[in-house]
Structure 1
Amino acid sequence: MKLIVLTVPGIIYTYNYFSDAQFKCPGKDGQYEDSRQCDKYYECVDGIATEKICPDGLVFDPLIRKRNKCDQPFNVDCGDRAELQPAQPKTVCPRQNGFFSHEDPAVCNKFYNCIHGDAIEITCTAGLHFDEYSGTCVWPDSAGRQGCNQISNTLKDGFKCPTDGQKDANGNLVIHPKFAHPTDCQRFYVCLNGVEPRDLGCQVGEVYNEESQRCDAPENVPGCEDWYKDEPAPAAQPKKN
C-alpha cells in the first residue's frame, strides 16, 4: 500500500493512496478506529499511521482504557463500522476467536470458546441457553432460539419441579430448591435453577430433613425415626489378642 505524507506545522497527515476513506492522524498519538471496518484500526506514532487488524473474531473498541483495544463483538458498539476481515474458520470455530453456538442448532445449552482457532466446549448451567449476542447463558425466553432439543424435566419416578418455585424464610425465591421424596426418607430432590430435577440421597444412617433442607439424624425428622430400624446390625469384629 502506497502512503503519501504531508507535513503541516505541528501535524503530520498520512494518507492511504488506494483507500476510499483516507485516514488522517490527529495531533495526539494513539490508536484510532477505521470509519468502516470494525476490526481495523490505525496506530499513530509521531503523526504517522500504521494500519492494523484485530485477531480474527475480535473488533476494535476505541473506548477501552488499555493498550490492547481488541475485544469480543458483544462488548463493542461498532455502529456504522459494519465491515469485517474475511473469516478464518477452523474446525467448529467460525472465526479464530470468540464465543460461538454449538454446530448443531438443536443443541442450545452448549457453546464454544474459540481461542486462536482452538475450541473449548462449555455447557450452560441447567435450564439456560447460550445467547451468541451477549456471549452468555440466559433463560430460554431471553435467548429466543428456535428448534432447541427439549431436555426432559421429568425423572423416571415421575417427579417434576413445581412451577411455583420455593421461597425462603425471607420470602426470596430459592435458586436450587430441595424437596423430600414422598416415600423414601433417605432420598430427596434438587431442582437446578428451579427447572431441572436431580434425584439425590443422604448417606446411610441419615434421612432428609425438609424443615432444615439437609440430611439429619432420623430421630430429628418426624415420621422417619424408625427408617433404619430394620437394618441388619453390623457384624461384630473379632477381638484382638
Structure 2
Amino acid sequence: MKHFSVAVLLIAFFCYQVDCGGRKKVQEEPWKGSCLEKNARYPVADQCDRYVECTDGEPEEKLCSDGLLFNDRAGVFTFPCQYPIDVDCGTRSGRQAPQATEECAHQFGYFKLGDESECQYFLNCADGRGYKLTCPIGLAFNPETYQCDWPDLVTACNPEAYLRYTCPPETREEGFGPGETKFYRSDDCQRYFLCNNGRPRLHVCGVGAAFDESLNRCEAAQNVTGCEHLAVTEEPEKPIIHLKTLKINN
C-alpha cells in the first residue's frame, strides 16, 4: 500500500509538470511570443487583466472582464480571472478602461456604499448590474477584504458615528487588563457594546434574552431588571384533534 501511495503521488506530480490530459497550466513567466507548454496560460507583461491562453499549442490573447484581474498563480482547475484582492499584479500595472454603468463603477466587483457613518451597505456588481447588500447588525463592509468586519477594523468606517455610541472614558477593569474588552449595555436591553481599546463593537442578545451588566452576559429577560417585558412566554398547548373522533353532519 505504501508503494502504491508513492506511485500515485509521483504520477500526479508528473502530470502537473507535463500537463496530462490537456489541462491548462498557469505559467508565472510572462508571455514571450510562443507556447512553451502545449496547454497553458501566460500573463502579459504590462497589463494585469490580459493573458495568453495556449490550447494544443495555439496561442490566443484574452482579456478578463472589467473589474477582474488575471491571477498568474491560480491553479490549473481555477478560473484565472479573479477579484483584485486575490491577485498580486506585481509590475503588471496596466488595466483596461472601466466599463461603468449607471449602477456600477466596473462590470464586476464589490464596492462600499455610504459614508463613514453608514458602513453596513455595499454593492455586488455582476455584468454591470448592482445588487445592494447589507452586513449583519453591528458589522461594517471592509473593501480591503470584501468581508463584513468589526467597524474599528475598517479604515473607511467611523465606529462611533456608525454605531452611534462612544465608549466611556473611565477605566473599568472587572477582570480585564488595560486596553482590553469592557462591557456596556446600551439603552436597548438586548444590545450591548464591547469596548476594545476604546472603540465600540455592537453585540445583540437572542430572542427572549437581555444583557445583564452585573454578569457581563446575556441572560433570560425575566431575570434582568428592567427587561422583563422581553421575556418569551410559552404559548398554551393547542388541543389535538383526532380525525377519527370528528363527526361531519351531512
TM bracket (short chain): 0.5 to 0.7
Structure 1: gaps of 5 or more residues: 1-20, 155-159, 182-186, 229-241
Task: Report the count of equivalent residues.
Answer: 187
Note if contact 2:119-2:141 (Cα within 8 Å) is conserved in structure 1.
yes
Q: Distance in 2 between the 1:141 and 1:207 partners?
A: 24
Aligned match of 2:143 in 107, 132, 157? 132
Tell me whether 1:214 sits opposite 2:219 in the alignment: yes
Q: CA deviation at 1:152?
A: 5.2
The corresponding residue for 2:130 is: 119
Residues 187-196 or 82-91, more deviating: 187-196
Q: Distance in 2 between the 1:130 and 1:25 partners?
A: 42
Identity %: 27
- Return closer, same or farther for 1:96/1:106 CA change in 2, 3 Å cut-off: farther
Residue-by-residue CA offset, 1:168-188 (whole Å, 9 max, x unaligned)? 99xxx889x67498xxxxx72
Q: Report the structure, 1 or 2, having the larger helix content.
A: 2
Q: How does 1:14-25 map to 2 (within 5 A)?
A: 23-25=33-35
- Return closer, same or farther for 1:120/1:180 CA change in 2, 3 Å cut-off: closer
The corresponding residue for 1:232 is: none
Note if contact 1:178-1:190 (Cα within 8 Å) is conserved in structure 2.
no
TM-score, normalising length: structure 2: 0.56
- Return closer, same or farther for 1:92/1:128 CA change in 2, 3 Å cut-off: same
TM-score, normalising length: structure 1: 0.58
The corresponding residue for 1:74 is: 85
CA RMSD of aligned residues (A): 4.3
Q: Distance in 1 between the 2:127 and 2:34 partners?
A: 32
The corresponding residue for 2:191 is: 190
Note if contact 1:107-1:149 (Cα within 8 Å) is conserved in structure 2.
no
State the structure with more CA Rg.
1
Aligned match of 2:72 in 49, 52, 62? 62
Q: How does 1:202-241 map to 2 (within 5 A)?
A: 211=215, 213-215=218-220
SS in 2 for 1:39: strand
